[in-house]
Amino acid sequence: MATAALAQVQSVLDHYSSLADAFIALEAVLLVVFNVERINLFQRRKYQQDLISPFTTKPFFQRTTLPISPQSIVGYVALSQQALIIPDPFDTQALHAIHPSLQLTGQLNEKFDGQSPHTTSNILCIPIMHAGVLLGVVQLVNKANAFGDDDLTLGTNIAQMLAQRFTYELGGTQRPLDTLVHRKCITNDALDALLMEPGLNDNPKLLLQKLISEHRIEPNLIGQSLSIHYQVPYISYDPERYHVYANANRLNESYLKHHLIAIIANNNDKPIILMAQPNNASIILEIERALNIASYDIAVGLATDILQFLGESDSHSCPAEMDEILDEISMSADDLDDPIEELSDEAPAVVRLVSRILHDATRLTASDIHIDPQKSAPTRVRMRVDGICRDLNQIPASHHNAVIARIKIMANVNIAEKRIPQDGKLTFKHSDQLIEVRVATLPTIAGEGLVMRILASSGAMPIDQLNLSTENMLMLQGMARKPHGIMLVVGPTGSGKTTTLHAILGHLNTPDKKIWTIEDPVEITQPGLQQVQVNPKIGFTFANALRAFLRADPDIILIGEMRDKETAHAAVNASLTGHLVLSTLHTNSAPETITRLLDLGLDSINFSDACVGILAQRLIRSLCPKCKAPYQATPEERAFIHRQYGADMIAELNLKTDITLYKAVGCQQCDDIGYIGRTGVHELLTMTPTLRSLIYHSANVSELTKQAMCDGMRTLLQDGIKKMLYGITDIKQIQILGGVK
C-alpha cells in the first residue's frame, strides 16, 4: 500500500515541473492515500520567520501566514523540525505537554483557512526538510480514523520527495555555499576540496577565513549565500542598527561562542537570534526557553561578525583589507587593455578601495591623504600620520581615473573638469562618527592628483593636554584672563594652531561669555560658541565677518587666520574696543610675528597696546612610552644641548654630569616605529612695557627676541630640549626642530 502510494506520488512529481501545478494532482492522490479531509502545504517564506500556505485544499483556498513559533501546531513543527500527530487539538493538556505555549488560542489563530477550527478533529503535521533546512510543512487534517505510525512514515517519505523535487522552488540550495558556485565566486571543485579539508567543514570561522583570504570572496557574498541556503536574512556586524539584546546575559557566553550565536535586537528592540548555522532547531528552542521570548527573528551571520557582537574584535568583518582589494583590482587590471573609464566608478572594488583608504586614514589618525598619479606607473597613496608622510599603497594605473572619479563624486565636484583645481568636501561614517574631509584636486602632467584633509570633527582639547610647560601654562592662562587685547598663535601649517586656539577658547567658554568664531573651515566645534565659516565665493571674508560680529556685541572673538592687512587691521581695532581677539598667523617665531605685522602696515603703537601675547608652536613626534629606551648622552649630544640651550641659561636645567636621554625602539604598540603621536613645543612671548617701547622704536627681531627672553620667554628649541630631558621625545626630533643634523 505504502509502496504503491509512493510510486503514485513520484509519478505525479515527475509529471509536473512546478509545485503549484503538481499540487492539484498530488492533492487528489494524497486525500485518498491518507483518507483525510484537507491538506495544507505551507511554504517557508524567504527572509521572514513565517510560513505561507499557497497550496491548500479547495474550497478553503485562502492565503494564510503563520509565524514559525510554538504558538501554533504548524509553527511548532516548523520550529522543532519534528513531525507531530495531534489526536485532539482541543486537549489543552496534551498540547501543553508538547510545549507550554502551544494552546487552543494559538490553534484558533491558525484559522484553518477560514474554516471554523471546531470542525477539526485530528492533525498530522510533517516538516519538509532539505539538507537540514526547513522548506515548509505539510499538514493533513481530519482522518476518518486516528493517524497512526504508518501515516507518519508515509508522510515523512512524501515530504522528502517533495523537498528533493522542488528544492529550488521552495528556495533551498544543496549546501550553504552553493550560491557562491552559482555566482562563479569559486568553482565547484574548489569548494568541494575546501569542504573535504579536515576540520574545515565543522569550523565556520576557519572556513570563512579561507574563503576570504585564499579565494578572495567578499564577506557579504558569503553571507548572501548562507541566507539563500538557510532561508533566513543575513545580518552583518552593524552596531548602529543592532545591539546586544538586554536579556542575552541569561545565556552563558562560552555557550554562545561555542555555537556561534549572538542574541541581538534591532532598534525596535525585537530580539534576533543570529546564528552561523541557523538550522539547529534544538538550540533555537533552548534559547527561546532560556530567554523566555515568544516573538523573535532568526538570522544568519558570519562567524567573525557573531563573535564581534559577542565582544571579540575581528578585522574580517570590516571592509576587505586593502591588500585584498588591491589584489582583486590588479587581477582584473591584467585583462584590460584600456584604462577603466570614469563611468565605471561604481565598480564595487573601486568603491571599496576608496572606503578602505578613508577608514585606514582615520584608524591611523592621518591628517592628509595624497593620491599622486605617476606617468605610466602605479598611483601612489600616501598618508600623513603625526606629520610624517607614509607610503601606504599603490593603485594600478588603470584604476587611477576610477578612484579619482569616485572621490570627486563623493566630494560633489565636477567630475568632467580635469584641467583646473577644484575644492570639495565629503563626509563618511567611521565607527559612529561622521568624519569630514576636505578634497582638493590637482591637475598634474601625469594626470589628476588629489589631496584629502581629514578635519578633526571632535570637540576642543582640554588646555592641560596641550603639554605646555608649567611656566607657559601659567602665563597663557594669565593672558586669557585679560578682558581685551589680541592674542596670537603662530606657526606653519600643521603645527596645531587651531587645536591650541580651541583649547584656550574651551578654557574661557563659560555661560557668562559670548564667544564668536570665524573660521575656514570650522574644524572643531564646541557647545556654547557661535561658529561661522567664511565663504569667499559670496564675499563673506574674515574682515566682513568680523565687522558683522562687532554689531553682535561679543566678549571674545576667534578669527581663524589674519591672512591679510584688512583682517589684521580689523582684528586689532576690535581688540582695542574692548574685545579679546584670538587669531593665528603663519610665522616661524613669536618675535618675528611682530615685525611681520608691522611690515603689513599695522600701527606699531596700536598693535603693541593691543597685543597681550604671542604663542609660537610646533608639533614634534613623541616617543612610544611602552618601548622607549634610556641611555647616557654622548659627549657630542651634551655639547649640542649646551650650545642650543645657551650658555647663559643652561644653569636653569640643573643638568648633572650624566644626562639620561631616551631613544626610539619600536614595539607592537607603536607599529614598530618607536613613536606615538606628537607633542607641542612652545615659545610664549608676553607683552611687557619694555618690549612695548622696543616695538614703538621699530626694534629688529633679534633685539625683540633678547628682550622677550629676559621677560621669561623660552624658544621653541629650548622648550623642545626640556621635553627631551623629560623623556617625551628624543634628540633626533630636537635636531630636526632646530634645523641641525
Q: How many residues bind Zn ion (CB under 5 A)?
A: 6
| Closest C-alpha to 30, from 212, 183, 154 | 154
- Distance of closest approach, residue 672 Cβ to Zn ion, in angstroms: 8
- Closer CB to Zn ion, residue 178 or residue 671? 671
At residue 610's C-alpha, the angle toward residues 609 and 613, to 5°, is: 105
Question: By three-state DSSP, how is residue 490 classified?
Answer: strand
User: 716-725 and 731-738 helices cross at what angle (nearest 10)?
Assistant: 180
Residue at shortest CB range from Zn ion: 624
Stretch that binds Zn ion, among 175-183, 411-419, 513-521, 627-635 (CB under 5 A): 627-635
What is the smallest separation between the CB atom of 366 and Zn ion, expressed in angstroms? 19
Nearer to Zn ion, 385 or 466 (CB): 385
What is the C-alpha to C-alpha distance for residues 152 and 148, in angstroms, rounded to an integer? Answer: 7
- In this chain, which stretch among 88-96, 237-245, 448-456, 619-627 interacts with Zn ion, using CB under 5 A? 619-627
**Dihedral sign computed on CA atoms, order 233, 234, 237, 241:** negative
Q: Does 475 bind Zn ion (CB under 5 A)?
A: no
Options 72-80, 417-425, 617-625, 631-639: segment touching Zn ion (CB under 5 A):
617-625
Pick the closer one to Zn ion by CB: 308 or 679.
679
Q: Which three cell numbers stand for residue 537?
A: 565665493
Span near Zn ion by CB under 5 A; candidates 266-274, 504-512, 615-623, 663-671: 663-671
Nearer to Zn ion, 255 or 631 (CB): 631
Q: Which is nearer to Zn ion, 186 or 623 (CB)?
A: 623
Question: The dihedral of CA 116, 118, 119, 120: what is its sign?
Answer: positive
CA distance 17 to 506: 74
Q: What is the DSSP string of 623-645?
A: E-TTT-EEEEPPHHHHHHHHHHH
* Number of neighbours of residue 651 by Cβ within 10 angstroms: 9
Q: Which of 96, 183, 241, 626 binds Zn ion (CB under 5 A)?
A: 626
Residues 182-241 that bind Zn ion (CB under 5 A): none
Please state the closest distance from residue 386 (CB atom) to Zn ion, in A. 13
CB nearer to Zn ion: give 286 or 671.
Answer: 671
**What is each CA distance from 515 to 506, 508, 524, 555, in whole angstroms?**
10, 9, 14, 6
Contact pattern from residue 573 through residue 612 relative to Zn ion, giving x for each residue in contact according to CB under 5 A and a dash for the rest? ----------------------------------------
CA distances from residue 53 to 134, 165, 225, 682 in whole angstroms, order as listed: 15, 18, 25, 76
Closest separation in Å from C-beta 624 to Zn ion: 3
315 sits near Zn ion (criterion: CB under 5 A): no
Task: Select the residue interacting with Zn ion from 174, 458, 669, 700 (CB under 5 A).
Answer: 669
Give yes or no for residue 667 binding Zn ion (CB under 5 A): yes
Rule CB under 5 A: choose which of 670, 687, 709, 725 binds Zn ion.
Answer: 670
Contact region with Zn ion (CB under 5 A), list: 72-80, 102-110, 625-633, 730-738? 625-633
Task: State the minimum distance, in angstroms, from the CB of residue 75 to Zn ion.
Answer: 58
* Residue number with CB closer to Zn ion (339 or 387): 387
Q: Smallest distance from the beta carbon of 631 to Zn ion, in angstroms? A: 16
Is 40 buried (19+), middle (13-18) or exposed (0-12) by CB count in 10 A?
buried
Q: Which is nearer to Zn ion, 248 or 673 (CB)?
A: 673
What is the smallest separation between the CB atom of 678 and Zn ion, expressed in angstroms? 15
Grid cell digits, residue 632:
647616557
Contact between 624 and Zn ion per CB under 5 A = yes
Pick from 627, 684, 716, 721 the residue near Zn ion by CB under 5 A: 627
* Dihedral sign from CA coordinates of 384, 388, 392, 395: positive
Residues composing the chain: 741
Type of residue numbered 92: T
Residue 728 interacts with Zn ion (CB under 5 A): yes or no: no
Question: 36 or 627, CB closer to Zn ion?
Answer: 627
| C-beta closer to Zn ion: residue 218 or 386 | 386
Strand partners, 272: 264, 297
**Residues 493-552, interacting with Zn ion (CB under 5 A):** none
User: Which listed range, 312-320, 322-330, 421-429, 618-626, lies at the site for Zn ion (CB under 5 A)?
Assistant: 618-626
Give me 275's grid cell.
Answer: 546564528
Our CB check for Zn ion shows the closer of 669 and 690 to be 669
Task: Tell whether omega for the bond before 59 is within 30 degrees of 0, i.e. cis.
Answer: yes
Least Å distance between CB 364 and Zn ion? 15
Burial class (CB in 10 A: 0-12, 13-18, 19+), 256: buried
End-to-end CA distance of the chain: 99
CA atoms within a 13 Å half-sphere pointing along the CA-CB vector of 634? 4
Question: Among residues 237 and 675, whose Cβ is nearest to Zn ion?
Answer: 675
Backbone angles phi, psi at 709, to 5 degrees: -70, -35
CA-closest candidate to residue 44, choices 145, 157, 163, 141: 163
Q: Interacting stretch for Zn ion, rule CB under 5 A, among 162-170, 486-494, 525-533, 621-629?
A: 621-629
Q: Are 204 and 276 in contact (CB under 8 A)?
A: yes
Grid cell digits, residue 469: 610647560
Q: Would you say 387 or 447 has its CB closer to Zn ion?
A: 387
Can you give the binding site for Zn ion, defined by CB under 5 A? 624, 626-627, 667, 669-670
